Each structure stands twice: as structure tokens, then as C-alpha cells.
Amino acid sequence: MDGENLVLLDHDARGVATITLNRPERHNALSAALIGELTEVLVQLQEDNSVRVVVLASAGPTFCAGADIEEMRRAAGASAAENERDARRLANLLVLLDGLAHPVVARVQGHGFGGALGLIAACDIVVAADGAQFALTEVRLGIVPAMISPFVLRAIGARQARRFFLTAERFDATAAERLGLVHQIVPVETLDAAVAGIVGELLKGAPGAQADAKRLIRYITGRSDGQDREFAVETANWIARLRALGEGREGLGAFLERRAPAWRRD
């Protein structure tokens, strides 16, 4: 798919903007190029007063596989400054998505791993297909879900994060709904209809009031733009440091070489 847009944007006459991650051959992995295109699209939508609702979707059977493994391989040999710049791209994207004035609905099918959970948690409403699977896989690669952690913890809470950050086990859509990550589960064949139903309800609301409602939630829960930007910097620095350490290098090497990492004893 070289030369094609990694992120597609479609507007309809009602003011519904659909963003589609368009890297299905790589399971919509979050490459630097995809993150850059998605960031540009979100900046464009933030400034577009004709937009009423945003839908975040993806092409192919997988919603998003998380980090781009080939880019992670290169990151293992990058400098600390290069790793920090790379990590901040995703952190800044999540801050932008989370703070978008328009309501954002995630349409989730297939798998959502690692960084994908940051995208999902940063959306306002999440509709998932009943066969969807999720995992916070980072510790099995010798790193942590640093940049996505503020958003995932706000969705599932610290107590549940203690389990899923540490075990990296997969959980299904039913568990994701119970945890608070997903709002609605439907059969995959009715996923588009369910998303359309949510969009229809959102279009009945006043756009200014909806933007204020999002700001109200941030205010009541003690959040601020400055705090979110601070977290973006700090968590990006955190992951950049871990990527360069022994466990981070060993975990990625083991994954790429399809072997058990050194800390496994089974």
C-alpha cells in the first residue's frame, strides 16, 4: 500500500467525520507515519466547526495491533533523544484525541493490543464487535504501557490496571465492557448499525453543549490541559528509557526471533 494514505477521512452532509486507519496489511500498527497522519487529521477536525461527530474506525479485520514492531526494532538502537521524540508523537496524539471538542465514537473489530487501547480509551464512546480481543502486552516485551496509561486508567481504574498491566493477558469484549473500556457489544455484522445508532443520538444534542460537557467532565475529575501535556512528556520519557534497558532489548529481540525471553522459565 505504499503511496496510499494511511488515514482516510470522510465527511457526510450531517457533519459526521469518519476517520479510518488504513494499514490493514500491517493490522493498522501505529507507525510514525500513521501517527503523523492521524494527528494532522485530528488537528483539522478540531478546527472545523462543521463537524458534529467523529467516528474512529479501521480497515481490515484488526482494529489496531499496537506499536509497529519494525519501528520498535530500530528504536532499540536509537539515541535517548530520538526515542523520546518518537514516544512523544503517540503521547501527543492521545492528548489531542482525548481533548477533541467533538464527540468521538470508536468502532472496534478484531484485535486491539497495546497502544490501540490508548486510542480506544481516549474516545468518548466505544462500540465493539463481540469477537473483539484486547491486551496490554507491553510487559511481555520488557516495557510498560507508559503513554497510554493515563487514558486506560481513567477508563478501567487503577485496581483493574494492576491485573492487566502486569499479566498482559488477553480479555474479550465482555470483559472489556465490564471493565469500562467498552460501552456496547454487538455482533460484528451489526457493528455499523450500532455505531450509526449512537451517532444518531449524538446528532440530537447541541454541539456547543456537548463540547462543554466534555470540558465539565475534565474539570470535575480534576484534569487540566497542562496536566495532560505534562503526563505526555513524562510518560514518553519513561518508555524511551525502558526501551534502551536490558529487558526492553531482550523482550523485543525475543519477540522478533520467536523465542521465549530470558526471564521465562517454562
Which pLDDT does position 127 carry in this prediction? 98
Q: Residue 105 falls within a domain, yes or no?
A: yes
Query: What is the torsional sign of CA 68, 34, 19, 103?
Result: positive
Q: Residue 193 falls within a domain, yes or no?
A: no
Tens digits of per-residue pLDDT, 4-55? 899 999 999 999 999 999 999 999 999 999 999 999 999 999 999 999 999 9
Which pLDDT does position 1 carry in this prediction? 46
Tens digits of per-residue pLDDT, 94-146? 999 999 999 999 999 999 999 999 999 999 999 999 999 999 999 999 999 99
* The one-letter amino acid at 42: L
C-alpha cell at position 37: 497522519
Q: Residue 229 falls within a domain, yes or no?
A: no
Helix (H/G/I), strand (E/B), else coil: 147:
coil
Tens digits of per-residue pLDDT, 143-161? 999 999 999 999 999 999 9
Residue appearing with cell numbers 535517548: 80
Which pLDDT does position 47 carry in this prediction? 92
Q: Which of 169, 182, 61 is nearest to 110 (CA)?
A: 61
Q: Which of 183-187, 195-199, 245-249 has the lowest mean pLDDT?
A: 245-249
C-alpha cell at position 28: 493498522
Which pLDDT does position 114 carry in this prediction? 95
Sheet with 171-172, strands from edge to edge, namely: 111-113, 133-135, 171-172
Q: Residue 133 falls within a domain, yes or no?
A: yes
Model confidence at 240, pLDDT cuts 50, 70, 90, reads confident
Which pLDDT does position 226 carry in this prediction? 87
Cα separation, 75 vs 89, in Å, equals: 14
Q: Residue 62 falls within a domain, yes or no?
A: yes
Give the pTM. 0.92
Output the average pLDDT for the chain: 93
DSSP 130: T
CB 53 within 8 A of CB 199: yes
The total domain count for the chain is 1
What CATH number should be reported for the domain holding residue 85?
A: 3.90.226.10
Taking residues 194-214, report their average pLDDT.
98
Which pLDDT does position 265 carry in this prediction? 80
Cα separation, 127 vs 37, in Å, equals: 24
Structural domain harbouring 15: 7-188+206-218
In percent, the amount of the chain with pLDDT more than 90 equals 75
pLDDT at position 250 over 90: no
H helices, E strands: number in the chain: 10, 9
Helix, strand, coil abundance in the chain, percent, nearest 5: 55, 15, 30
E strand or H helix at 242, and its extent? helix 225-244
Q: Residue 64 falls within a domain, yes or no?
A: yes
pLDDT at position 225 over 90: no
Residue appearing with cell numbers 462543554: 212
Which pLDDT does position 86 carry in this prediction? 82
CA angle 165, 138, 145 (to 5 degrees): 65
**CB 10: neighbour CB atoms within 10 A?**
11
Q: How many CA atoms lie within 13 A of 162 on its CB side?
A: 2
Q: Residue 68 falls within a domain, yes or no?
A: yes
Cα pseudo-dihedral 27, 33, 37, 40, rounded to 10: 140
Q: Which residues pair with 8 in a beta bridge?
A: 20
Q: Residue 72 falls within a domain, yes or no?
A: yes
